[in-house]
Chain A
Amino acid sequence: MKIHNTTGGRIFDAANYIFLALIGIITLLPFIYVSAGSFANEAEITRRAFFVWPEQFTLGSYEYIFSTPAFTRALVTTILVTAVGTLVQLAFTVTMAYPLAKKTLRGRQVILSLVVFAMVFSGGMIPTFLLVKDLGLLNSYWALILPAAINPFSLIIIKNFFQELPQELEESAKMDGATEIGILWRILLPLSKPVLATFALFYAVGIWNDFMSPLLYLSDNSKWTLQMYLRQVTASSDLLGTGNVDPNYIPPEQGIKFAVIVVATLPILIFYPFLQKHFAKGMLIGSVKG
């Protein structure tokens, strides 16, 4: 189309391009400020309103946080919980999706209906908390993993994916004497690598970013995850009137807050190219249809 050759159209295009470029930059500003601040010293942070590059480049804030046991423990814990949690959640989801993809399996209909019902209705915060408490999972890392072990949406999408794979593959494997578990492990899983990677990312981001579960289930602050630690560090002490903060806590210097935010954001930014690609697709699978 060569219609927007009119003057009005050109002016609109130029204004639109500039405006959108500004939106993009404004979105980035908080990151730029925080990453620049994490490499600056205390005096510069409190003096300069905004800067893209520190006058005096220092790694002091990072050296400090990595020397405190509370931070390193929270970081290592979060990485481990995210890794184990992602594997556990993916395993739960895949093992349930595979039998449900078999249209001839009896009882499948009932189970699928119950899964969908669980997407609409939930017990809510308190009954779930009481359950976790009764199971003895308070202050256990399993409380961050098990209550969210299967996302019903992911389950149904993976199930649909298995259903669409060619039946002949399974049948020929069966002729060769493979059991269903063997078929799942040796034939279906290798074929579904991209799909599984997508949902692994989905679960990993969910666990890494989770704040509500550790808030509810981990009262012991030596077990806190990075998000809990981040909150304690960045909420200045006079603002905390909402409980769940260590009373012996001394608010840190500003530069440390900047460095902790950068460390908590970094994994998401590293995986962002994959996230953007797969999540955009995933979002469209579930929603746009009419």
Chain B
Amino acid sequence: MSQLTDALASNIGHGQGPGTDAGKSSKPRKPPKVPRGKFSVHFAHYKWLYLLLVPGVVYFAVFRYAPMYGVSIAFKDYVPFLGVNGSPWVGTQHFQDFFSNPDFPRLLGNTLILAFLNLGIAFPLTIVLALLLNEVRLSILKRTVQTLVYIPHFLSWTIVASLSFLLFALDFGPLFLFLNNVMGTNIDFLSDPNWFRPLIVLQEIWKNTGWGTIIFLAALATVDQDQYEAAIIDGAGRFRRVWHITLPGIRSTIIVMLILAIGQMLNTGFEQIYLMTNALNRSVADVFDTYVYFVGITQGAYSYSTAVGLFKSLVGIVLIFGTNALAKRFNQSGLF
């Protein structure tokens, strides 16, 4: 984010420097780099650049901005035959329907529980893993462990889900055979609704904890080493050094990452949840993203599901601005 704002800021004050094409210029006093005057002259000078810009601009107009306009069907009764423009307005009807639907509290609950489980378990684990890796002085071990724990990040959710299906399968899965042979019990991990959330969090930890340490490790590398030596002279042990120097040293990174995580809270990851959803665990598995898919794509309630999606993104925007303001209030740097 900050990279972006910097990029933008550096672009705002663009000036026109000394130039090369004095001959073509409309103001031939000094050799100006770019023809100043009329746009037509400027355009003629830069025609190739404008030509190169065309595919990208068309892409953004069609695939990014047209769907934003299409969000208006959340306030309409979309009929495919009439199109986005022709369909009649219904105001906030779909939002009222959604809020009074018994699905709404269930979806909100499921989404929030998964989000808090991820924030409460996966997020701190990432920091703990980064701290442990940071304590390793044997660089070959550190690099090997990093190489291994980064791998799952690059695998698709389909592969993660498929691995889960095999590992937790009934009758032949390793866990089933182990529980059956050793403990004499068995658990149907994949369809028991009680096991849905633990599985989701476990997948998230396996897939992304290792990768998430990169940012924290980079922040840890910037912590002032002199402080450690001073603390050692004062007799501070390993844990006190971590607590009093390391953690405060990466506090701003932790806060930024937390803000980002909270801003993304309602984005439960469509692919992951969809792949782990089945007929038996729908009661706990349904979240906003998958609900939009099931109601919108499979049942064809386009306007209603667009309203649900719009509600979700608006709450997400409120969340990210809210946590940022909160972080600033506690005198932290915040994100923007």
Chain B residue at minimum C-beta to C-beta distance from A22? B145
A227 CB to closest chain B CB, in angstroms?
4
Residue of B nearest to A233 (CB): B162
**Is B7 a contact of A242 with CB atoms below 8 Å?**
no
Query: Taking the complex as formed, is B330 at the interface, i.e. its CB lies under 8 A from any CB of chain A?
Result: no
**Which of A99, A102, A126 is the most central at the interface, judged by chain B CB atoms within 10 Å of its CB?**
A126
Chain B residue contacts of A27, Cβ below 8 A: 148-149, 151-152, 206, 210
Any chain A CB within 8 A of the CB of B4? yes
Q: Is B2 an interface residue (CB 8 A)?
A: yes
Q: Does A59 sit at the interface, judged by CB under 8 A?
A: no
Binds A, one of B103-111, B114-122, B164-172, B193-201: B164-172
Contact B42 A122 (CB under 8 A): no
List, in ascending order, chain A residues with CB within 8 A of B214's CB. Answer: 280, 283-284
User: Chain B 300-336 against A: per-residue CB contact (8 Å), 1 yes, 0 no?
Assistant: 0010011001100100010000000000000001000
CB distance from A147 to the nearest CB of B (A): 5
Option from B56, B135, B178, B274 in Cβ contact (under 8 Å) with A92: B56
Check A16–B135 contact: CB distance below 8 A. Answer: yes
Which A residue's beta carbon lies closest to that of B135?
A16
Residues of chain A within 8 A of B20, CB atoms compared: 171, 174-175
Contact of A261 with B172 in the complex, beta carbons under 8 Å? no
Interface string of A197-238 (1 = CB under 8 A from B): 000000001001111100110000000000100110111100
Once the chains are docked, how many angstroms separate the CA of A48 from the CA of B92?
58
Closest chain B residue, CB of each to CB of A258:
B166
Of A48, A175, A180, A208, the contact of B48 (CB 8 Å cutoff): A180
Question: Quick check: is B190 within 8 A (CB to CB) of the other chain?
Answer: yes
Report yes or no: B34 in contact with A234, Cβ–Cβ below 8 A: no
Q: Does B90 contact A (CB under 8 A)?
A: no
B11–A30 CB distance below 8 A: no
Binary contact readout B19-37 vs A (1 if CB under 8 angstroms, 0 otherwise): 0100000000000011000
Task: Known A180-B49, A239-B278; judge A122-B166 contact (CB<8 A).
Answer: no
A21-B141 contact given A12-B238, A34-B166, A265-B155, CB 8 Å threshold: yes
Contact assessment for A125 and B292 in the assembled complex, using a CB-CB cutoff below 8 Å: yes
Q: How far is the CA of A115 from the CA of B7 in the complex (A)?
A: 12
Per-position 1/0 for A108-152, Cβ under 8 A of B: 110111111011111111111111001100000000001101100
Question: Are A113 and B8 neighbours in the complex by a CB distance under 8 Å?
Answer: yes
- Asked if A288 contacts B253 (CB within 8 A), the reply is yes
Shortest CB distance B207–A (Å)? 10
Of A131, A240, A244, A257, the residue contacting B66 (CB under 8 A) is A131
A99-B52, A103-B11, A126-B302 known; A290+B252 contact, CB < 8 A:
yes
In the assembled complex, A289 has its CB within 8 A of some CB on chain B: yes
A101 to chain B: closest CB distance in Å?
Answer: 10
- Contacting A at CB under 8 A, from B55-83, are 55-57, 59-60, 62-71, 73, 78, 80, 83
Q: Does A106 contact B (CB under 8 A)?
A: yes
The answer to whether A236 touches B49 (Cβ under 8 A) is no
Q: B273 → chain A, closest Cβ, in Å? A: 11
Bound complex: CA A21 to CA B132 (Å): 11
Report if A194 contacts B (CB, 8 A).
no
B152: A residues at CB distance < 8 A: 27
A contact face: mostly helix, strand, loop, or mixed: helix
How many chain A residues touch B (CB < 8 A): the figure is: 122
Of the stretches A2-10, A60-68, A79-87, the one at the interface is A2-10
Check A24–B219 contact: CB distance below 8 A.
Answer: no
Bound-state Cα–Cα, A134 to B305, Å: 18
Q: A92 touching B298 by the CB < 8 A rule?
A: no
Q: Give which listed residue, B8, B135, B275, contacts A231 with CB less than 8 A.
A: B275
With an 8 A cutoff between CB atoms, is B84 at the interface?
yes
**Which residue of A has the minimal Cβ distance to B16?**
A104
Known: A1-B229, A122-B68. A211 touches B144 (CB 8 A): no
- A115–B59 Cα distance when bound, in Å, is 11
Q: Is the CB of A241 within 8 A of B279?
A: yes
B138 pairs with A127, CB closer than 8 A: no
Q: Which A residue sits closest to B270, measured CB to CB? A: A212
26 contacts between A and B (CB under 8 A): A8-B238, A12-B135, A24-B148, A27-B152, A33-B166, A45-B172, A96-B52, A96-B56, A105-B46, A116-B4, A121-B68, A123-B68, A123-B71, A125-B309, A126-B306, A135-B62, A205-B154, A208-B156, A209-B156, A230-B159, A231-B162, A261-B166, A264-B156, A283-B214, A285-B3, A290-B2
Residues of A with Cβ closer than 8 Å to B? Answer: 1, 3-4, 8-9, 12-13, 16-17, 19-21, 23-25, 27-28, 30-31, 33-34, 37, 45-46, 48-50, 91-93, 95-96, 98-100, 102-106, 108-109, 111-116, 118-131, 134-135, 146-147, 149-150, 155-156, 159-160, 171, 174-175, 179-181, 184, 205, 208-212, 215-216, 227, 230-231, 233-236, 239-244, 254, 257-258, 260-261, 264-265, 268-269, 272, 275-276, 279-280, 283-290
Give me the interface of B with A, judged by CB distance under 8 Å.
1-4, 6-8, 11-12, 14-17, 20, 33-34, 39, 42, 46, 48-53, 55-57, 59-60, 62-71, 73, 78, 80, 83-84, 129, 132-133, 135-138, 141, 144-145, 147-152, 154-159, 161-163, 165-167, 169, 171-172, 174-175, 177-178, 181, 190-191, 206, 210-211, 214-215, 218-219, 228-229, 232, 237-238, 252-253, 256, 270-271, 274-275, 277-280, 282, 289, 292-294, 296-298, 302, 305-306, 309-310, 313, 317, 333
List 4 extra interface pairs beyond A25-B148, A105-B46, A124-B313, CB under 8 A.
A16-B136, A31-B151, A130-B80, A236-B169
